[in-house]
Chains A and B, each alone.
Chain A
Amino acid sequence: MPHDHHDHLSPSGHPYRVDDDHPLTYWQQMEIAVRELLIEKGVTTAAEIATQIDAMDARSPANGAAVVARAWIDPAFRADLLADGSAASQAMGFDVGPMKLIAVENTADIHNVIVCTLCSCYPRNLLGLPPDWYKSRAYRSRTVKEPRKVLAEFGVTLPDHMTVRVHDSTADMRYIVIPARPSGTEGWPAADLATLVTRDSMIGTGLAKLPDA
């Protein structure tokens, strides 16, 4: 009976989960110490740090989706984006910072997927913070070795005639995938198109949503 062992079960009848408490790691302590010293010495303020965290958290895949939607409806912008991703993204008000952006386009024959095998390079200005799996050893090591199997696990099974292009973000560039525009969206305004552009579709582990999905 689920309620027989009161010591081990929550009032809902499920076992208690062990608390995830552990002492601070070396690097967590180091971060706190450096942050407190910088504040004490007047190099920065707690308010500045909070503002920067807010700015980081405010970036989301909606930025990238707006860029992709515009590329779908504006051929001149699409050409600019493919030629110089940083400048095109900047022109839409999304500052790429010191890193440069390359946009790669999915077509009927090519599917692109982005990975950073060395760490977790990610176009944060356009997509926000990377998902945890993007930083996992499994995603980073398997995507360059067996991308089709990885994509299938994300629910993306590609036809045999398509070529997979893996982009390993090894140095100074950041990457965004322009997913293929779904059919049945002719004449849609950019704001509506952007709702079809998922985060995963811009990493390449997904496709754009279909209009009726």
Chain B
Amino acid sequence: MVERTYMRVRADMPPGHVRTPAYLRGKTGWVERTLGPFPNPEALAYRQPAEPHPVMRLRFTMAEVWGADAERPTDTIDAEIYAHWLEQAEPPYAP
């Protein structure tokens, strides 16, 4: 089995045009693939010079995102998260 790289989405709530869904902030997923770099939408939206960032497609389990409320804990959500929103993380559970 290929080793997974786990990342945690920063749990911040800054104002502005942020394309990191609030329901995934603070959640840990593994890198499905790396994309980009793409210009930072938080600057682009205000016509500011937008630095390109890698974008990670992270895969989260429903168990990680919704806890005990998960409809099916092993189903998954993939989302594109800009690298400046991510921090290194340990696996959230035994793989």
Contacts and interface: CB of A to CB of B under 8 A. Distances in A.
Interface of A: 100, 117-118, 144-149, 163-173
Contacts of A173: 35, 57, 80
Contacts of B77: 144, 165-168
B38 A165 contact: no
Size class of the contact patch on chain B: 20 to 34
Interface of B: 19-21, 23-24, 35-36, 38, 41, 55, 57, 65-66, 69, 71-72, 74-82
Contacts of B36: 172
Given A117-B23, A170-B81, A171-B41, A163 B71 contact: no
A67 B71 CA distance: 33
A100 B33 CA distance: 14
B76 A172 contact: no
B78 A165 contact: yes
A170 B20 contact: yes
Contacts, number: 63
Is the contact region of chain A dominated by helix, strand, or loop, or is it mixed? Answer: mixed
Given A145-B71, A148-B71, A149-B71, A170 B76 contact: no
Contacts of B21: 117-118, 168, 170
Contacts of A117: 21, 23
B55 A164 contact: no
A182 B79 CA distance: 29
Contacts of B41: 171
26 contacts: A144-B23, A145-B66, A145-B69, A148-B71, A148-B72, A148-B75, A149-B71, A163-B74, A164-B76, A165-B76, A165-B78, A166-B75, A167-B79, A168-B24, A168-B79, A168-B80, A170-B21, A170-B79, A170-B80, A171-B80, A172-B35, A172-B36, A172-B38, A172-B80, A173-B57, A173-B80
A166 B20 CA distance: 16
A146 B20 CA distance: 20
A171 B82 contact: yes
Nearest to B74: A163
A81 to B, nearest CB: 15
Given A117-B23, A164-B75, A171-B82, 13 more contacts: A144-B65, A145-B69, A145-B71, A146-B71, A149-B71, A167-B78, A168-B77, A170-B20, A170-B21, A170-B79, A171-B41, A171-B81, A172-B38
Contacts of A163: 74-76
A166 B19 contact: no
A148 B74 CA distance: 12
A172 B37 CA distance: 10
- Please name the 8 residue pairs, one residue from A and one from B, whose CB atoms are nearest each other, closest first: A171-B80, A164-B75, A168-B79, A146-B71, A172-B38, A166-B77, A170-B79, A167-B78
A166 B80 contact: no
